Homo-oligomer: A and B are copies of this chain.
Amino acid sequence: MKLYDCSTAPSPRRVRIFLAEKGISVPTIQVDLRNGEQFGETFRAINPDGTVPVLVLDDGARIADIVGICRYFEETQPMPPLMGIDAADKAVVESWQRWCERECFYAVMDAFRNSTPGLKGRALPGPDPYEQIPALAERSRTRITRFLERLNERLAANQFVAGERFTIADITALVSIDFAGWAKVKPAENLGHLKRWHQAVSARPSAKA
């Protein structure tokens, strides 16, 4: 088994934190995203989409999706559970994870990719060229700000994003919020519940992964 990773990138960081919380160690291969290694022939043979993370299983099967990779490890090593403990809890955790991803992670990606000079013509991940849309970057910043306010409200009554346990939803929220700094959006100082939560999850050893 091996994990194609890039130690500076937000997407594989979601998997790295997940693995660290489970105490799982997987041999990794670093892909140099800054210098375009993901679009070279060697890596495109692993993943034609040119994205990391990618998990390659011992039988050669490839899982080129963040949450798909997390699912594999949740199934093979259920403890500690990061994706819910029974039917209702699994559904609730998945809903919050998806909310954080849709409203924050994807919004940050849109804000960053549609405004960063070095990403002209690469406004979406993958090999296809897409021009930047400045209005989308701007709208995404508004959306992230709104997400942070709503997450703060949520955390007023809950220790963690999905309730009383640390889950994959916290990982998605943490990585998204740290990634938002790349798009020059930071949580407002008055979001006290969010601040309390962000300090707590950032202090976990897994956050360094």
Q: Which residues of A contact B (CB under 8 A)?
A: 55, 57, 59, 61, 63-65, 67-69, 71-72, 75-76, 86-88, 90-92, 94-95, 98-99, 106, 123-124, 128, 130-131, 133, 135-136, 139, 142-143, 146
Residue on B with the closest CB to A131? B139
What would 26 A/B residue contacts be, using CB atoms closer than 8 Å?
Answer: A57-B88, A59-B88, A61-B88, A61-B92, A63-B91, A63-B92, A63-B95, A65-B98, A65-B99, A67-B98, A68-B92, A68-B94, A68-B95, A68-B98, A71-B87, A71-B90, A72-B88, A75-B87, A106-B106, A124-B143, A128-B143, A128-B146, A130-B142, A133-B135, A133-B136, A136-B136
Pick from B65, B76, B90: contact of A87, CB under 8 Å: B76
Expressed in whole angstroms, the Cα–Cα distance for A57 and B61 within the complex equals 37
Q: Which residue of B lies closest to A107 (CB)?
A: B124
Residues of B within 8 A of A59 (CB): 88
Given the interface pairs A65-B99, A99-B65, A124-B143, the reply to whether A71 lies near B94 with Cβ below 8 Å is yes
A135 touches which one: B87, B94, B95, B135 (CB < 8 A)? B135
Q: How far is the CA of A130 from the CA of B95 in the complex (A)?
A: 23
Which residues of chain B are within 8 angstroms of A98 by Cβ–Cβ distance? Answer: 65, 67-68
Given A64-B95, A99-B65, A128-B146, A72 and B87 contact (CB-CB distance below 8 Å): yes
